[in-house]
Amino acid sequence: MGTIGRFGIFALAAGLLMGGAVADVLASEELVQSSEDELAGSESLAPSDDGDGNAEIALTEATETTSEVPQIQAASEVTTAELGTELEQREITSDPLFMNYYAIFYGPALKGTSAYQPTPSGEQDLNRPILLKNFMTLGYNLSEQLILAGTAYWTWNPVFGQKMAMQDPYVRLGYDGLIRTDHLNLYADMRVHFPISSVSRQNDMLAAFQSYQALSYTVGDGPLTLLLFGSERANVFGKRGYGNDLELYLGPSINVRLSRKLALTVLYEMQVNHEFGQKAFSFYSEPSDLEPGVSWEISPNLSINPYLNLYPGSKMTLSSSSIGMLMSWTLL
């Protein structure tokens, strides 16, 4: 599956990913948690906070939202990275046990210097400082197609005191090749998120269940691959619940292989949510975002995907466009 500005900025982002996130986090004893963001997986921030996810993925990783509950974006973006690592690692080793680290960097606008991410209108979003989402997965290949894995998720703000926060962990059971031909492949999984973070407890979340799908189609024997990521997440709340109880995500993507290690990538993310306590069919949409980028396989175990985050539904300017990067690292 596909892995996805200026050189100095990307170098800084890479340094944050590998130096700040990996060194600081792995040295910490608090490494235990999961998603928005979603990709994605979709983990939580504050009611006015932006929960990519998207993931990816995913991912992570549609766009980060104003809900306190985990967001599908992160799930989608993250899951995209996660799948790229987990499914490709089988070509690297026959060992059924695998461990992956992957991260999503949400950077500042292309114009000016800021410690915040931009809004679609080009203003500083004071609820969304620059953010690094970190995911550590330990899994087991039950067979050539069946995967069982658990993921810990934490966030790190490299600004304003370098705050680290543990998020909700999740486990998943995935099946690669649910539909498979020479050019077509469908991956799907089921996930259970455990609301142990302070935010989830504050929102009275009891559990969360998610289904994720990744469909890929390679056109002939050429360099073009078409992908479609989908996610459906249901969050279960208590009587004092707050946040989205249903999140639906769709992310079509294009991957154009330039060489064995380089590819051009484009991801378009869409998401609709239903808020807990609202009427049954009262959904609201997140701003859709477009993410053109470049995927670079630095080594068989390490890949990065710097990208631009654009809001095509609004006037696209340097002030509303931001940089981001996804990193996937196979540790075992």
pLDDT digits (tens, 9 = 90+) for 106-124: 999 999 778 999 999 999 9
According to DSSP, the residues that pair with 276 across neighbouring strands are none
pLDDT at site 18: 38
pLDDT at site 136: 97
- The answer to whether residue 129 is domain-embedded is yes
pLDDT at site 88: 55
> What are residue 183's phi and psi, to 5 degrees?
-120, -10
- The answer to whether residue 32 is domain-embedded is yes
> What are residue 38's phi and psi, to 5 degrees?
70, 130
pLDDT tens-place string over residues 160-177: 888 899 999 999 999 999
User: In whole angstroms, what is the distance from residue 6 CA to residue 332 CA?
Assistant: 32
pLDDT at site 155: 95
User: In whole angstroms, what is the distance from residue 259 CA to residue 255 CA?
Assistant: 12
pLDDT at site 95: 81
- The answer to whether residue 2 is domain-embedded is no
Determine the residue type at 227: L
- The answer to whether residue 191 is domain-embedded is yes
- The answer to whether residue 100 is domain-embedded is yes
In degrees to the nearest 10, what's the CA dihedral of 124, 244, 289, 292?
Answer: 110
- The answer to whether residue 27 is domain-embedded is yes
pLDDT at site 6: 37
Cis peptide upstream of residue 53 (ω within 30 degrees of 0): yes
- The answer to whether residue 173 is domain-embedded is yes
Q: What is the pLDDT along the chain (332 residues), one digit of tens a residue?
A: 433 333 333 333 444 333 333 333 333 333 223 333 433 333 333 333 333 333 344 333 322 333 333 333 333 444 454 555 555 555 555 689 999 999 999 999 999 778 999 999 999 999 889 999 999 999 999 999 999 999 999 999 998 888 899 999 999 999 999 999 999 999 999 999 999 999 999 999 999 999 999 999 999 999 999 999 999 999 999 999 999 999 999 999 999 999 999 999 999 999 999 999 999 989 999 999 999 999 999 999 999 999 999 999 888 999 999 999 999 999 99
Q: What's 61's domain CATH number?
A: 2.40.160.40
Cis peptide upstream of residue 222 (ω within 30 degrees of 0): no
pLDDT at site 90: 54
- The answer to whether residue 1 is domain-embedded is no
pLDDT at site 82: 53
pLDDT at site 91: 52
Q: Which of 153, 134, 150, 137 lies closest to 325 in space, CA to CA? A: 134
Number of structural domains (the chain) is 1
Separation in Å, CA 107 to CA 236, 250, 310: 31, 23, 12
Neighbours of 116 (CB within 10 A): 19
pTM, entire model: 0.75
pLDDT at site 127: 86
Give the domain extent around 152: 7-330
pLDDT at site 297: 96
